[in-house]
Amino acid sequence: MGDTSQEVSKIKLTATDEAYTITKLTIVNLNAAGTTKAPTSEISSIDIYWDGGSKTGIQLAAGEKTVSGLNIVVPQDDTNILTIKANLNTWAGQAVSGNVVNLGIKEAGDVSTYFEAVGSASGETIYQAISGSLLGGNPMYVRRTKPIVIADEYDGTLGNNQMDLITFTITADANEDVALQRITFDYSVFDATSGGNSITGIDFYRGSTKIVELTDIDTISDISNTTSTTGVLSLSWLTEKEEIVPAGETRTYTLKGVGQGFAEDDSFSIRIAEETNTNAAELTNYNTLTADTYLIWSDNYKGVNHSAAYATTQYDWCAGTYVDTLPSNWSSWTKK
């Protein structure tokens, strides 16, 4: 929210038989599926750019705006790219977290209401250049803030001792704090001799401070292995507990564990998992997010404390579907 000049869509304009000049087109904000208009409270204005010109400060009304007096030249047997950028409202300016920005163009058959292009040689005017009446891009979801999760790639020596299994950082956008309720890791264990190995006593740290099981977070399961296996390890905060990354700041976290039974050529790899719950891009209440949601976070859109009752009744949480830094790099360990 509040960001300007956010690139939302690129539309390739192509001419075949002759060059055309587009003099009118209609910009529309669509739903995620691109099938109908969507609310625009999160959009302050939009700007369009093409090779040879631009038009800025376009205000949408009822989800769309027809712009006339354009001079978008599409050369014969060539293309011109139309780039659509959004200037977003702030949280105080009534932007709605979880709303979709999917800017595209609208036409309506062989009528001049929404689109006009004139052939340079023939002088013919055409009123439709797309198949159907709506053309959008990939949907983008507005947030008050966002987490940036980074784990550097690491290779180390696996031992039968306590190890820093993976170290990573979470940064909150400068607009608002990020609240976390769950984070999940993928792991892979290879047992070269099928003798059995495990990682026990797993602890989670913020910097040098331990985040305590059954006080702050739920019990962390051991990783037990008799041959070779893959799996997931989830860390969930307790009811009325959450991890806050302050706006504009970065926190460093480490997952520690004690190796047991590892022999030569055994290996262990771990990373922060990519989200699998693709149905929770929009805000929902915490209890709606199921066990297969790998990252549960909030942009504090509602602006109140996350009490137990609040977690069940208020829509302020989402999955990590569009956290684009996931999955993270692997942290890999091999027994020498």
Q: Could you tell me if residue 300 is left (phi over 0), alpha (psi between -120 and 50 degrees) or otherwise beta?
A: left
- Do β-strands 6-15 and 78-88 pair in parallel, antiparallel, or remain unpaired? antiparallel
Inform me whether the pLDDT recorded for 237 exceeds 80: yes
Inform me whether the pLDDT recorded for 303 exceeds 90: no
CB atoms near residue 119 (< 10 Å): 16
Name the token pair of 184.
């999940």
Inform me whether the pLDDT recorded for 285 exceeds 90: no
Q: What's the pLDDT score for residue 206? A: 98
Q: What's the pLDDT score for residue 308? A: 62
User: Are the CB atoms for 280 and 217 separated by under 8 Å?
Assistant: no
Task: Break the chain into its structural domains and give their ranges.
Answer: 6-141, 147-334
pLDDT per residue as tens digits for the range 142-172: 899 999 999 999 999 999 999 999 999 999 9
Q: What's the pLDDT score for residue 305? A: 67
Mean pLDDT, rounded, of the chain: 91
Cα–Cα distance between 279 and 277 in angstroms, integer? 6
Inform me whether the pLDDT recorded for 280 exceeds 70: no
pLDDT per residue as tens digits for the range 211-232: 999 999 999 999 987 678 999 9
Q: What's the pLDDT score for residue 98? A: 83
Q: What is the mean pLDDT of residues 309-332?
A: 85
The distance between the two most distant Cα atoms of the chain, rounded to a whole number of Å, is: 80
Q: What is the mean pLDDT of residues 285-305?
A: 82
Name the token pair of 322.
């569009």
- Do β-strands 154-157 and 331-334 pair in parallel, antiparallel, or remain unpaired? parallel
**For every residue of the chain, which 3-state class applies, written as one string?**
CCCCCEEEEEEEEEECCCCEEEEEEEEEEECCCCCCECCCCCEEEEEEEECCEEEEEECCECCEEEECCCCEEECECEEEEEEEEEEECCCCCCCCCCCEECEEEECCCCCCCCCEEEECCCCCEECCCCCCCEECCCCEECCCCCEEEECCCEEEECCCCEEEEEEEEEEECCCCCEEEEEEEEEEEEECCCCCCEEEEEEEEEECCEEECECCCECCCCCEEECCCEEEEEEEEECCCCCEEECCCCEEEEEEEEEEECCCCCCEEEEEECCCCCCCCCCCECHHHCCCCCCCEEECCCCCCCCCHHHHHHCCCEEECCCCCCCCCCCEEEECC
Q: Please state, for a pLDDT cut of 90, what percent of the chain lies above it.
A: 71
Q: What's the pLDDT score for residue 282? A: 65
pLDDT per residue as tens digits for the range 289-298: 877 899 999 9
φ and ψ of 219, to 5 deg: -60, 135
List the Cα angle 136/139/141 in 5-degree steps: 145
CATH architecture of the domain covering 147-334: Sandwich (2.60)
pLDDT per residue as tens digits for the range 75-125: 999 999 999 999 999 888 788 888 889 999 999 877 889 999 999 999 999
